[in-house]
Structure 1
Amino acid sequence: MTAHPRDFQVVTADQLLIGASEWRHDGEASGRNVVVIAPATSVRARYYHRFAEYLHASGCDVVTFDYRGIGASRPPGGLRRFNASYVDWGRYDLEAVLQYVTSRYPGQPIDVVAHSIGGFTLGLAASSHRVRRALTVGAQIAYWPDYNPRKRLQMVLRWHLFMPLVAWLFGYFPGARLGWLEDTPLGIVRQWSALHRDFEKQPWKTHRTDPPLPLQFELFRGETLAISLADDDWGTPAAIRRLLDLYKHARRHHLHLEPADIGVSQIGHFAYFNSRFADSLWPLALRWLQTGAMPAPFAARLCAVG
């Protein structure tokens, strides 16, 4: 029987409402982990709900949320002239959710599943030091030279030229109308199209934070498993390692998977969380979140980073 989530909102430090959902068990919570799912760019939280239901049915409490400007966190007045940045998504939105979980799930271990840019926003949240364990899937910062060389030109034209041009014309990116993910704030599109390999040269360099953004990542010390997929054109091994290098004080592990490892022809950047992988990929995530280990034969393929 599928458990129904409770929908709610959290208020960020800059006074925006973030839409969220939670799957929570009744009764004694001793030892039970609570998993926060940090989405990819322009992907609604509801995409991860079947995965959240799986984790809940397997004994976890789970919280999902939408970043500002996306899905249930879309502003009432629409996205034109709505300001948002990747820094906002981590420093305010994910941070508000982590604070909520810390308050409402006292004493329970906090784990994070981070998809794509979610692996970056985690490092921007001041409460990331409270996270016990993280699992990232295809987590990277969209630095285009790290893309799959065979698809790089096509991806640059689509995501780094056409997408920002359309966003500039409309005042936001009308992704839902075009069938390209979700409607996305202009500020996010601008950053996506201009990300740099050197952190200090990123397009959010004007943000003033304490500690400075590069040092913020060093506060995270959770045990981390970064999964890359061989047919993920964004999350190549080079892209995965580039992001992992920011988490200097975390215990970092990298697992590279081929679709053939689970008897399929393709997985790609988004499909890890599709329910067709509930019996193959999802148990790997569950095992890591609950125990910090991988089942055989995958355990032998874990690579320590750093």
Structure 2
Amino acid sequence: MPNPEKLNITCKDGYSLSATFYDSSAANANLPILISPATGITQGFYRAFAEWLSEQGYQVMVFDYRGIGASLHGPLKQSNASIQDWGQLDIPAAIDALLLKTGKKQVILLGHSAGGQLLGITPNYKKVAKVIAVSGSTGHVKGLKGRTKQLAPVMFHVIFPLSNLFKGYGATKMLGMGENLPKNVAKQWAQFCSRPGYVENAIGKTVFQDFHHEISSPMTVFWSSDDEIATEANVKDLIRLYPNAATKMHELVPQDLGHKYIGHMSMFKKSHQNIWSIIAKELEI
């Protein structure tokens, strides 16, 4: 397997993103895969999975959103990044960069959580042949369950406002929920999850281009029965946003696959590698 290649991606507004490209010595007619991360999760989290995909004959790229990981330039409290920036600027730039790198005309978007929720505001959505949304849902607070259902209101309405005020960013690291977030990301995350539809709640307010009804690329959503965020109700809330796309829901039950848990994050871990071949079946066009 070729060594991973570090790339810099320039967005439409001039912002520079950090990315990693995993080439494949067995690359064939497969479309390249863009791994679009979850909120606050850096590209390194997906390395083992990306390497495995490249061994299966796929060219893969994963990147950090602006304000996250290696795509944070300067102090976090000075970052003006927002979730809508990720969908309107970062994902489009990553799609174009991967196509330029591989010479292909379309990509497969493999989005983790938020990474699979933003295609509806991505201007170059026609360059996406298929969407695989892993732990993909709208995260609507009323659809949450377990400890997360209790934690979310505290995080959104107490921790984020206070940390934004006193620290200048959304404090998530102390909660074990990835990197600390740019203040606008934290604010929008709370707003988007307060009602059904996630980013739909920004349409006509801060987002003025809505492509949800125009998207016809097939979409498969994988979620685990023990996921407290991507619950069945929240998965259904996501796929209803794409009425003209052929959608499939695929529930994974930990015990059926030999695991004690899968949750929202573990599908990408080496300990859960037996799930990867299940996901890979959906990559075929």
Normalising by the residue count of structure 2, what TM-score does the alignment of the two structures yield? Answer: 0.91
- Structure 2 counterparts to residues 87-126 of structure 1, below 5 A: 87-107=84-104, 109-126=106-123
TM-superposed deviation, 1:204: 6.4
Gaps of 5+ in 2: none
Provide the aligned length of Structure 1 versus Structure 2: 283
The partner residue of 1:168 within 165, 172, 178 is 165
2:5 matched residue in structure 1:
6
- Structure 2 counterparts to residues 1-306 of structure 1, below 5 A: 3-25=2-24, 30-75=28-73, 77-107=74-104, 109-148=106-145, 151-176=148-173, 179-195=176-192, 196-197=195-196, 202-203=201-202, 205-209=204-208, 212-213=209-210, 216-278=211-273, 280-289=274-283, 291=284
| Cα 1:198–1:24 shift into 2, 3 Å | closer
SS at match of 2:191: coil
Q: What stretches of structure 1 move > 3 A for 4+ residues in a row? A: 174-180, 198-201
Deviations 1:149-170 (A, max 9, x none): 6652233223443233223321
Mapped contact 1:164–1:193 kept (Cα < 8 A): no
TM-superposed deviation, 1:33: 1.9
Mapped contact 2:140–2:197 kept (Cα < 8 A): no
Distance 1:167 1:72 in 2: 21
Mapped contact 2:224–2:251 kept (Cα < 8 A): yes
Distance 1:45 1:182 in 2: 12
Distance 1:110 1:151 in 2: 33
TM-superposed deviation, 1:247: 1.4
SS at match of 1:37: strand
Deviations 1:244-282 (A, max 9, x none): 11112211000112111202111100111011111x100
TM-superposed deviation, 1:81: 3.2
Gaps of 5+ in 1: 293-306
Amino acid corresponding to residue 34 of structure 2 in structure 1: V
Distance 1:144 1:100 in 2: 35
Mapped contact 2:83–2:185 kept (Cα < 8 A): yes
